[in-house]
Structure formats: C-alpha cells, structure tokens
Amino acid sequence: MLFRSFWTISTERMTEMRSAADAASFKRELTGVIPHLRAFARGLCGRPDLADDLVQETLLKAWAAQERFEPGTSMRAWTFVILRNAYLTDMRRNRFRADYDETVAERILVAPPGQEGPMHLSDLHRALLTLPPERREALLLVGAGGFSYEEAADICECAVGTIKSRVGRARATLSAMIEEGTIPRRAVGDAVAHDAIMAELNESTSAS
Amino acid sequence: MAKEKRTSDKRMKDIGMERHERRRQPSPDWASGLRRLYDSVVEEPLPDAFSKLLDDLDRADD
C-alpha cells in the first residue's frame, strides 16, 4: 500500500515535471520564431504596426493551442499556419489595407545586375503587395523564408503543384513589373494592392 | 527493411527532383532583395512587448 502510494505520487510528480519542461520548451521555441513571424507578417500586410498586431494575435492563439503542437516538429511552420489564418480572417474583415513602411525599406538598396541604378527594397515590397495574397504568401514562404515547396504546401494547405504554380506566377509578375518599370507609386500601389487582394478574396469566397 | 530503403530512396529522389527544378528556374535578379527584405525584419531588435506578452501568458497559466 505504501509502495503503491509512493508510486502514484512519483508518477504524478514525473508528469508534472514533464509538462513543466514541455511548457518551458514550448515558450522558448515560440520566442525563437517571433522574428520570423514578424518578417512573414510584414511581407503579407506591409505596415509594421499592423504586422506586429498580427504577430501578437498569433502568439495568443498559439499559446492557447499549445496542446496541439507536436514537440519535435517545426514551430516556425506551425505558427506560420496560425498567422496565415489570422491574416486571411482579418483581411476578410477589411482590417488591413495593403500598405508598407518606407522608413526601413527605403534605406536598403538592391542593385540587380544589368539594370541601371539600384532598386529600392521599398519598390520590391510595393510590387510584392500588389500580388494576390495566395501568390504573395507562396513567394514569401519559398523565396524569402526558405521553406521547401512541400513545407509551403503544408502551411497553405494546398497541393505542392499549386504552390509551385503560385511561386512561378508571382515571380513572373514581379519580373515583368520590374523589367517594364510598372511598379505603382506608393499611393497608387496601396489602392492597386488592396483592390487586387479584395478581388482575389471575393473570388475565392464565391468559389467556395 | 527493404520497404524502408525504398521509401528513403524515393524521398531522396524527390529532394533531388526539387533541387533540379529549382536549378532549372534561374532566380530573377531581384530574388536576393526578397530575402533581404525578410532578413532585415528578422534581424531587427525585438520589441519588449512580445516577451512581456509571453511572460504574462506563462504567469496566467500558473
């Protein structure tokens, strides 16, 4: 009897210790992916303040759902799914107008070979924001975040072929805009981006 | 054992195919700019609000 009682306490204690260790590990991993969540959110919605709001919303949802996270799997991929879903929900509520902040991007220059003069990252960001959300997120995940096509397909809950096609189309559109010099100016870009995104969302909503 | 090897071989083949496809699609000149956009945000100092939020959530669970 004594032995049984000792065993029961011991098992409970071990379970407690394990869950405390799991919780600490979860928090550590979640903290580690925050910079990536901010980068993904900034790429999706443009404005740093709204992007950070989206990251906070993601952290709250991830924390509430931590039982569903499988230790050993990718925290970055898991939280990107949450962020993406929160973004799409907020987009449908018209919370975000595609916008961006010149302050950081304007200072950083890219100089593509074979092109006269450097290209501002802010131009690239603005061009990115004119893409429909499905193509933008696919390009962000694969072209900026370094995810494989398979991982990106898991995050976007679609087929690998669909992701490849979205990335290809996004690249082609951006290349054409840059080569032809048709990147919209800031004020126009916002309107174009927003209209493109809302049209795409309305289309996908009416199709489903 | 043989089945595991076949699965592993298939996975390696898939990875090889993906690499091949990526090589076939040359990166446009602006592709490095896209990564720099992403990395520039990753490298920004993290506002305290995020760690505070997680600490608050952690305390609320106790």
Q: State which fold the A22-92 domain adopts.
A: Rna Polymerase Sigma Factor; Chain: A (1.10.1740)
Q: Which of residues 32-61 of B touch A (CB under 8 A)?
A: 32-44, 46-47, 49-51, 53-54, 57-58, 61
Which residue in A150, A174, A147 sits closest to A162, CA to CA?
Answer: A150
Asked whether the beta carbons of residue A35 and residue B54 sit closer than 8 angstroms, the reply is no
pLDDT band for position A201 (cuts 50, 70, 90): low
Nearest-angstrom CA–CA distance, A82 and A77: 9
Q: Are A79 and A32 in contact (CB under 8 A)?
A: no
Q: pLDDT per residue over B3-43, tens digit each?
A: 555 555 655 555 555 555 544 455 677 888 899 989 999 99
The tokens describing B2, both together, are 């043989």
Q: pLDDT per residue over A62-82, tens digit each?
A: 999 999 999 999 999 999 999
**Interface ipTM above 0.85:** no
Q: Are B31 and A142 in contact (CB under 8 A)?
A: no
Decide if B4 touches A, using CB distance below 8 A: no
What pLDDT is attached to residue A19?
A: 76
Average pLDDT, chain A: 80
**A107-207 maps to which CATH number?**
1.10.10.10
**B chain contacts of residue A104, beta-carbon cutoff 8 Å:** 40-41, 44
How far out from the chain centre does Cα A38 lie? 8
Strands A119-120 and A109-110: antiparallel
Beta bridge partners of A109: A120
Q: Phi/psi at A185 (nearest 5 deg)?
A: -70, 165
Q: A106-111 — which CB contacts under 8 Å span 24+ positions? A: A108/B36, A108/B37, A108/B40, A110/B30, A110/B32, A110/B33, A110/B36
Amino acid at site A179: E
Asked whether the beta carbons of residue A34 and residue B46 sit closer than 8 angstroms, the reply is yes
Asked whether the beta carbons of residue A31 and residue B38 sit closer than 8 angstroms, the reply is no
Which residue in A107, A121, A123, A103 sits closest to A183, CA to CA?
Answer: A123
Asked whether the beta carbons of residue A108 and residue B40 sit closer than 8 angstroms, the reply is yes
> Going by C-beta distance under 8 Å and a sequence separation of 6 or more, which residues neighbour residue A133?
A44, A87, A88, A91, A197, A200, A201
How far out from the chain centre does Cα A97 lie? 16
| Domain residue ranges in chain A | 22-92, 107-207
Judged by average pLDDT, the poorest of A76-80, A130-134, A185-189, B46-50 is A185-189
Nearest-angstrom CA–CA distance, A59 and A65: 10
Answer whether 0.90 is exceeded by the pTM.
Answer: no
Q: Are A194 and A94 in contact (CB under 8 A)?
A: no
Three-class SS state of A120: strand
CB atoms within 10 A of CB A74: 16
